[in-house]
A and B are shown apart, each in its own frame.
Chain A
Amino acid sequence: MPLLVKVRSFLRNILLARHVETDLDEELRSHLDMLTEENTRAGMPLQEARRAARLEVGSIDRLKEQVYEVQAGNWLHSIASDCRYGVRQLRKNPGFATVAILTLALGIGANTALFSVVNGVLLNPLPYPHAEELVSIAQKLPPFDQFAVSYPDFLDWTRMNHTFQALAAYRQNNFNLTGSGEAQRLKATQVSASFFPLLGVSPLIGRNFLPEEDRRGAAHVVMLSAALWKSKFSASPEILSKTLTLDGEGYIVIGVVPESFYFCCESTNFRLGDVYVPIGAWDVPWMQDRGAHPGIFAVGRLKVGTTLEQAHADTDQIAHNLAAAYPDSDKNVGIVLVPLKQAMVANSRPMLLLLLAAVGLVFLIACVNVANLLLARSTGRVQEFAVRTALGATRRRLVRQLLIESALLAAMGGSIGLVLAAWGTRAALAALPEALPRANEVRLDAHVLLFTLIVSATAALLFGLTPVLKVSADTIHKNLKERQRWASGSQHRIQRTFVVAEISLAVVLLSAAGLTIRSLANLWSVNPGFDPRNVLAFNVASPGSTAKEEPDEIRGYLNQLTDAIASIPGVTAAGRTAGALPMAGDNEVGFWIEGQVRPSTTSEMPNALNYFVGPGYLKAMGIRLLRGRFISEQDNIHSRFVAVIDDRFERQYFPNRNPLGEHIHLAGLDELFEIVGVVGHVNQNGLDENERSAAVQLYNSIDQIPDKFIAAMAKSACFVVRTEASDNGITSAIRQTVAKMNDQQVAYDFAWMEEIISGSLAARRFTMFLLGAFATLALLLATIGVYGVFSYVVGQRTQEIGIRMALGAERSNVVLMVLGEAGKIAMLGVGVGLLASLGFCRLIASMLFRVSSYDPITLVSVAIVLSAVALVACYVPARRASHVDPIRALRYE
């Protein structure tokens, strides 16, 4: 009941303010009249009676103020009036307001942009129902912590586990789509029937795969991605039960995967497909081979209430049982479980957190800058505050006024910052899209808005409190009496501290940016072991019928294709390749050297990266031949089996002896391979490959691939060609040549090796780009800050400088005096900053490449740059000081 009364009064005071005021006026007037009446009754003359009544009541306006102050909702009224006053104050000084608001907008905008990325990538749950139950599953195959899964093992896991609601396997593949307009190469993703139900994805139209379609020998069915359905089949629902020709075989369309479906996992090579087909129906020999790990990975959904530890115990037991049952393939092979979100984003976490820390420093600099501006401005407003105090404003009211003005600045800065963030995020992600997983989920949502609000409020408090320190009661009284002429020493101390803080924060950011830039430069100068300039990699999909031909016919066809490509004008060398390709695809094989004991199981054999290549590969890639010869045209299926090893292989397995003429065995093949040559090592895993952990490398002739594998390899062939120039004219020439040979044949997935390399640096470039942007911003803000403070300090010291000049100081003396002071402060800031960078840059040590986090070159250049910038920023005010006219300066005294 009393609450209701309060609410009513509150609403009345807010909504009917005018009415409340007239009511109060009338009440007070009638009170005054009654007092007068009382006095006349007591015998006073009317005039005197009125005067006495007025004396008793005092100032009507003040009385009204006192009543308003107790009224509910009064705070809202007075805050509104403070806001209006604040806006007026800011308008009176548009230069100050613009600089402050823009500074804040940049600081808050950069923070909001980065937070929206962190929020979308790291914080938000994955876009699936009960995403916390999802785990990514791989096999542990020493020395690899996460290796592809063998399909027979996967089927056993599904049968044997007690802790999963469901498991699903997936793998990438490619198909040739023919018979529906121009032949087209499609990205296919092979998935278990359980894959979409497990992720909670329902088809847009049609149905999901059935378990019986996910088996060898089942009728071919396919689901389309929404994008392909729209672009190729104009989103017609009639596509269901139609047949598509993929790699020459008919697939019945059973459903369309919705556009919203997203799954991405760099560590398990998952990519979104144009089409999806059941993985279990894939009829190739290695799907039944327990020792093969054909690029398959798995995802599972834990039973409700099951912890990851329980699942670990379960899968460890399963791995143990499988190792006992199939020692040759499964001994020492474990099962790795990683929460799906971690598997998707773990690689980006350190980079994003580093950037968040960096952008936090930019924010601090922005706040210090605005605090400085406010501090300088508050000195000019001392008189205003003194007058307001004299008129009855309490100290609390003045502090509130100052905080409200700060809040106004922060609110405007925050709003502009939000716009900048929305634009900046989109621009950054568009510039470097491949750098981040889940980039499509980055958006301004409620979390981001809340973050911006909190950041803006923090900013308002941080810089808003500085001038408040100045509004202490005693200085106000003192200042009313005499206008303050000389800035107090304490204020200069605060401002100097601010400048030192700004410079040191900028030093930290510039050092971090400098180290990343040097890392990237070091990476670019790494010799990858091959010459990536003008090297083009691409695939050619064969007509669907090729795979059904005799092995020798297939080999003949592929060599004919290679010759056709090699004779295209502009192509200087062409090599067919299969298996591993530097920085693009891995393929490993277990081996043992002839004359040594065969390890008892495949999993105990050492592994080598295995490249199956044609004779042109060496020249096309520009790999160095160190000894012996490379694969030649004579190394075909009917001749002696040969192998070429890299120098690391030689050092590790043939120390102190000549490998040429030695023989090695390869797991899964009966033939013995003679080593005929040694080539230089190639960086398989990117420019930043760790030299110690890099695998040894082994080349075999692509023409010596045994018959049993040839049909599967016939589907598509990968080529690398060296061209005379890296323009895209050559790609259309290749396309035409390939299509002219056979219209069912498609060349696709063209990629310049240099682009593959720069793509492998995408995450680093993203970090460098953003750190560089933040460091530039920091430098800019710090420069503005230093300039602002020194302009102000010089302005305050005009009289002093005038006196000095009147007493005979030269202009150059004055400039030197100001610059000397600035130099001292800059040195202090740089010193503190360098110490702080030593700490901060240790955090990024793991992201650096061949540069120490204490790199003297970087630190010294940063110190020089900042000192120079600080001195230049001070030179302008110093020069102005030296042009002070002593007479005029003293006249103001």
Chain B
Amino acid sequence: MSPEPTTLLQGTLDLLILKSLVAGEKHGLGISRRIEQITGGTFVVKPGSLFPALHRMEEEGWISAFWGDSENNRRAKYYRLTKAGQKQLEIEKKRWGRISWAIAQALEAS
């Protein structure tokens, strides 16, 4: 039984999308499924959040898009990480590290 799907924290969606693309280019559905997989089903990204995020990140220059064929020979729009995207991933990782450390500290405080 997978854990209850959780609403994404503000700012974590970008991190998850970038992370999901590290292993290689993916189309929208692939990214969505990959996030589900790597978070153990905790986060399910709905199209209503996914596509605006993808287009925004593309315009930021973190990912680039191109049309290709899917595993089932279907035309699909693929996204891949750019150099700027890799840099952004490092920034987001550090930020998330700081946040989770701070939250942990807060919870441990008496």
Nearest A residue to B83 via CB reads A1
Residues of B within 8 A of A28 (CB): 47, 51
Instruction: Tell me, yes or no, whether A325 is within 8 Å of chain B by CB.
Output: no
Q: Are A71 and B47 closer than 8 Å at their CB atoms?
A: no
Q: What sequence of 0s and 1s flags, for each residue 564-601 of chain A, a beta carbon within 8 Å of any chain B beta carbon?
A: 00000000000000000000000000000000000000
Measured between C-beta atoms, what is the minimum distance from A65 to chain B in Å? 9
- CB-contacts of A632-661 with B (<8 A): none
Cα distance A63–B49 when bound, in Å?
9
Q: Are A66 and B48 closer than 8 Å at their CB atoms?
A: yes
Q: Which of B27, B48, B55, B60 meets A34, CB within 8 Å?
A: B27
Cα distance A56–B33 when bound, in Å?
13
Q: Which of B29, B52, B61, B74 meets A70, CB within 8 Å?
A: B52
Q: What sequence of 0s and 1s flags, for each residue 1-21 of chain A, a beta carbon within 8 Å of any chain B beta carbon?
A: 110111001000000000000
Instruction: Tell me, yes or no, whether A31 is within 8 Å of chain B by CB.
Output: yes
Instruction: Tell me, yes or no, whether A205 is within 8 Å of chain B by CB.
Output: no
Cα distance A28–B77 when bound, in Å?
9
Nearest A residue to B62 via CB reads A2
Q: Which of A9, A33, A62 meets B58, CB within 8 Å?
A: A9
Residues of B within 8 A of A57 (CB): 47
Q: Are A1 and B84 closer than 8 Å at their CB atoms?
A: yes
Measured between C-beta atoms, what is the minimum distance from B44 to chain A in Å? 10
Cα distance A116–B78 when bound, in Å?
59
Cα distance A70–B61 when bound, in Å?
14
Q: Which of A1, A5, A33, A58 meets B47, CB within 8 Å?
A: A58
Residues of A within 8 A of B77 (CB): 23, 26-27, 30
- CB-contacts of B17-73 with A (<8 A): 27-29, 46-48, 51-53, 55-56, 58-61, 70, 72
Measured between C-beta atoms, what is the minimum distance from A50 to chain B in Å? 15
Q: What sequence of 0s and 1s flags, for each residue 33-73 of chain A, a beta carbon within 8 Å of any chain B beta carbon?
A: 11101100000000000000000111000110011011110
Q: Are A34 and B59 closer than 8 Å at their CB atoms?
A: no
Cα distance A534–B5 when bound, in Å?
103
Instruction: Tell me, yes or no, whether B94 is within 8 Å of chain A by CB.
Output: no
Instruction: Tell me, yes or no, whether B15 is within 8 Å of chain A by CB.
Output: no
Q: Which of A4, A38, A67 meets B51, CB within 8 Å?
A: A67
Q: Are A30 and B46 closer than 8 Å at their CB atoms?
A: no
Q: How many A-B residue pairs have CB under 8 A?
A: 75
Q: Are A71 and B55 closer than 8 Å at their CB atoms?
A: yes
Residues of B within 8 A of A2 (CB): 60-61, 84
Q: Are A34 and B52 closer than 8 Å at their CB atoms?
A: no
Residues of B within 8 A of A33 (CB): 74
Number of interface residues of B (CB under 8 A): 22
Cα distance A27–B61 when bound, in Å?
19
Residues of B within 8 A of A71 (CB): 55-56, 59
Report if A70-B55 is in contact (Cβ < 8 Å); known contacts: A6-B60, A31-B28: yes
Cα distance A615–B6 when bound, in Å?
113
Residues of B within 8 A of A70 (CB): 52-53, 55-56, 59
Q: Are B75 and A34 closer than 8 Å at their CB atoms?
A: no
Residues of B within 8 A of A38 (CB): 29
Residues of A within 8 A of B46 (CB): 56, 58
Instruction: Tell me, yes or no, whether B76 is within 8 Å of chain A by CB.
Output: yes
Measured between C-beta atoms, what is the minimum distance from A366 to chain B in Å? 43
Measured between C-beta atoms, what is the minimum distance from B89 to chain A in Å? 14
Q: Which of B29, B52, B58, B70 meets A66, CB within 8 Å?
A: B52
Residues of A within 8 A of B47 (CB): 28, 31, 56-58, 63
Q: Which of A62, A63, A69 has the most CB of B within 10 A?
A: A63
Cα distance A34–B58 when bound, in Å?
22
Residues of B within 8 A of A26 (CB): 75, 77
Residues of B within 8 A of A58 (CB): 46-48
Q: Are B55 and A67 closer than 8 Å at their CB atoms?
A: yes
Cα distance A69–B46 when bound, in Å?
17
Nearest A residue to B56 via CB reads A70
Cα distance A56–B52 when bound, in Å?
16
Nearest B residue to A3 via CB reads B61
Nearest B residue to A6 via CB reads B59
Q: Are A30 and B55 closer than 8 Å at their CB atoms?
A: no
Residues of A within 8 A of B75 (CB): 26, 30
Measured between C-beta atoms, what is the minimum distance from B103 to chain A in Å? 28
Q: Are B51 and A63 closer than 8 Å at their CB atoms?
A: yes
Q: Are B48 and A63 closer than 8 Å at their CB atoms?
A: yes
Residues of A within 8 A of B84 (CB): 1-2, 5
Residues of A within 8 A of B29 (CB): 31, 34-35, 38
Report if A6-B76 is in contact (Cβ < 8 Å); known contacts: A31-B47, A56-B46, A67-B55: no
Measured between C-beta atoms, what is the minimum distance from B67 to chain A in Å? 8
Residues of B within 8 A of A27 (CB): 28, 51, 76-77
Measured between C-beta atoms, what is the minimum distance from B78 to chain A in Å? 10
Residues of B within 8 A of A62 (CB): 48
Residues of A within 8 A of B56 (CB): 70-71
Q: Are A69 and B52 closer than 8 Å at their CB atoms?
A: yes
Residues of A within 8 A of B48 (CB): 58, 62-63, 66
Residues of A within 8 A of B59 (CB): 5-6, 9, 70-72
Cα distance A671–B55 when bound, in Å?
104
Cα distance A849–B55 when bound, in Å?
73
Measured between C-beta atoms, what is the minimum distance from A70 to chain B in Å? 4
Nearest B residue to A23 via CB reads B77
Cα distance A37–B46 when bound, in Å?
17
Q: Which of B55, B70, B74 has the most CB of A within 10 A?
A: B55
Report if A66-B74 is in contact (Cβ < 8 Å); known contacts: A1-B61, A6-B61, A35-B29: no
Residues of A within 8 A of B27 (CB): 30-31, 34
Nearest B residue to A65 via CB reads B52
Measured between C-beta atoms, what is the minimum distance from B30 to chain A in Å? 9
Residues of B within 8 A of A1 (CB): 61, 84
Measured between C-beta atoms, what is the minimum distance from B32 to chain A in Å? 9
Q: Are A30 and B76 closer than 8 Å at their CB atoms?
A: yes
Residues of B within 8 A of A69 (CB): 52
Measured between C-beta atoms, what is the minimum distance from B27 to chain A in Å? 7
Measured between C-beta atoms, what is the minimum distance from A207 to chain B in Å? 66
Cα distance A796–B29 when bound, in Å?
57
Measured between C-beta atoms, what is the minimum distance from A394 to chain B in Å? 16
Cα distance A9–B84 when bound, in Å?
16
Measured between C-beta atoms, what is the minimum distance from B96 to chain A in Å? 21
Measured between C-beta atoms, what is the minimum distance from A297 to chain B in Å? 68
Residues of B within 8 A of A56 (CB): 46-47
Measured between C-beta atoms, what is the minimum distance from B58 to chain A in Å? 7
Measured between C-beta atoms, what is the minimum distance from B51 to chain A in Å? 5
Residues of A within 8 A of B61 (CB): 1-2, 4-6
Nearest A residue to B33 via CB reads A38
Residues of B within 8 A of A63 (CB): 47-48, 51
Q: Which of A4, A30, A58, A71 has the most CB of B within 10 A?
A: A30
Q: Are B51 and A34 closer than 8 Å at their CB atoms?
A: no
Nearest A residue to B30 via CB reads A34
Nearest B residue to A59 via CB reads B48
Q: Which of A5, A6, A24 has the most CB of B within 10 A?
A: A5
Cα distance A1–B74 when bound, in Å?
33
Measured between C-beta atoms, what is the minimum distance from B23 to chain A in Å? 19
Cα distance A5–B61 when bound, in Å?
6
24 residue pairs A–B, Cβ–Cβ below 8 Å? A2-B60, A2-B61, A2-B84, A5-B84, A9-B58, A9-B59, A24-B55, A26-B75, A28-B47, A28-B51, A31-B27, A31-B29, A31-B51, A31-B76, A34-B72, A34-B74, A35-B29, A56-B47, A58-B47, A63-B51, A66-B52, A69-B52, A71-B55, A72-B59
Q: Other CB < 8 Å A-B pairs besides A30-B70, A57-B47, 10 of them?
A: A9-B58, A27-B76, A28-B47, A30-B75, A30-B76, A31-B47, A35-B29, A56-B47, A70-B53, A70-B55
Q: Residues on B close to A: CB < 8 A?
A: 27-29, 46-48, 51-53, 55-56, 58-61, 70, 72, 74-77, 84
Give me the 8 closest cross-chain CB pairs, A-B, nearest first: A5-B61, A2-B61, A70-B56, A9-B59, A27-B77, A70-B52, A66-B52, A34-B29
Q: Residues on A close to B: CB < 8 A?
A: 1-2, 4-6, 9, 23-24, 26-28, 30-31, 33-35, 37-38, 56-58, 62-63, 66-67, 69-72
